């Protein structure tokens, strides 16, 4: 066979081998994709739940994050009426008297809280009044009010439901509690009921992990919750009654759910266990 023909045959054989390898590779990829499809779909579904509502909540409540910017609205602008009541002016003086002379601004956090408790939320006119009363630049007040998410820069309902969904509460079915609230009130995270009675937000750890799952409603903690407990609490609030705060499981506080494992009897008196000859 002439040299040119031998080279052509060799090229065709090499091309055939490459095509066969490509076909086998594609088949292997399809098999691998089919093998991985179910886990990938499961992971994708899980990742959707892991996209937390915190940022959405912050946007709607006006706290923290990217919301350092204020935009005047008809209900929230420097001319929005706000002034402290005479009783709260007395409370402000009691607050600032806790700090050295010339350091009135040290009371900015409790005085902002006082303004929010009086008004229900914190418009910019209230921040300006706090700056005036504490004799500090308004910008310093804005910095505090936009940093802490417990300051509500948009109106919230009479009952502010803050549900914790961080790891311990999540492991104790905080998702079930959240779903019960949403169904009971007909709202989603970050929303307020039409009657302005309830606002629902999702928050990070509230420090009651041993009593998970739990929610904070205004100043009260409700712990060891079940979906039925949450529905009962909402019914009580709708009726104008404030349910007893604390664990709903029968625990007094945060003792072990399975009962005491130590200190199960009164402590012995002085000298117990000490040898008489010592």
Supply the pLDDT for residue 25.
64
Supply the pLDDT for residue 154.
92
pLDDT tens by residue, 12-29: 776 666 666 666 766 665
Supply the pLDDT for residue 264.
83
3-state secondary structure of 85: coil
Predicted TM-score (pTM) of the model is 0.71
**Axis-axis angle for helices 108-119, 138-147 (nearest 10):** 70
Q: CATH number of 159-247: 1.10.1370.30, 3.40.50.720, 3.30.2270.10, 3.40.30.10?
A: 3.40.30.10
- The alpha carbon dihedral of 203, 208, 213, 216 has a sign of negative
Kindly report the number of other CB atoms within 10 A of residue 223's CB atom. 24
Kindly report the number of other CB atoms within 10 A of residue 238's CB atom. 15
Supply the pLDDT for residue 1.
57
Supply the pLDDT for residue 63.
46
pLDDT tens by residue, 59-98: 555 444 445 678 888 888 999 999 999 999 999 999 999 9
CATH of domain 64-147: 1.10.10.1590
Supply the pLDDT for residue 225.
97
In the beta sheet, which residues pair with residue 159?
198
Average pLDDT per 10 consecutive residues for the chain, totaling 278 residues? 64 67 63 53 52 50 56 89 97 96 95 97 96 96 92 95 95 96 96 97 94 96 97 97 94 83 83 77
Q: Which long-range contacts (CB under 8 A, 24 or more apart) does 141-150 make?
A: 141/108, 141/112, 142/68, 142/70, 144/108, 144/109, 144/112, 145/112, 146/63, 146/64, 146/67, 146/68, 147/64, 148/63, 148/64, 148/109, 149/58, 149/61, 149/63, 149/64, 149/203, 150/63, 150/113
Per-domain residue ranges of the chain: 64-147, 159-247
Q: What angle do CA 214, 217, 223 make, to 5 degrees?
A: 25
On the question of a cis peptide bond just before residue 144, with omega within 30 degrees of 0, the verdict is: no
């Amino acid at each position: 066979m002439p040299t040119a023909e031998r080279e052509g045959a060799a090229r065709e054989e090499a091309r055939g081998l490459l095509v066969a390898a490509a076909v086998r590779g594609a088949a292997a990829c399809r098999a691998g994709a089919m093998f991985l499809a179910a886990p990938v779909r499961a992971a994708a579904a899980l990742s959707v739940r892991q996209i937390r509502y915190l940022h959405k909540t912050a946007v709607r409540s006006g706290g923290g994050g990217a919301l350092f910017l204020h935009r005047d609205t008809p209900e929230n602008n420097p001319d929005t009426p706000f002034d402290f009541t005479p009783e709260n002016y007395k409370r402000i003086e009691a607050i600032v008297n806790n700090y050295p002379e010339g350091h009135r601004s040290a009371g900015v956090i409790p005085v902002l809280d006082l303004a929010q408790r009086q008004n229900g939320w914190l418009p910019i006119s209230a921040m300006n009044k706090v700056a005036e009363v504490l004799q500090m630049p308004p910008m310093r007040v804005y910095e505090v009010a936009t940093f802490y998410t417990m300051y509500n820069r948009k109106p919230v309902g009479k009952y502010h439901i803050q549900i914790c969904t961080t790891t311990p509460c999540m492991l104790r079915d905080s998702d079930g509690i959240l779903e019960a609230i949403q169904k009971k009130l007909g709202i989603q995270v970050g929303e307020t009921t039409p009657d302005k009675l309830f606002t629902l937000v999702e928050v990070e750890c509230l420090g009651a992990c041993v009593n998970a799952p739990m929610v904070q409603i205004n100043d009260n903690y409700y712990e060891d919750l079940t979906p039925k407990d949450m529905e009962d609490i909402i019914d009580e609030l709708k009726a104008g009654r404030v349910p007893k705060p604390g664990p709903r499981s029968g625990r007094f506080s945060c003792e072990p759910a399975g009962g005491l494992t130590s200190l199960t009897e009164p402590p012995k008196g002085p000298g117990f266990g000490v040898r008489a000859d010592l």
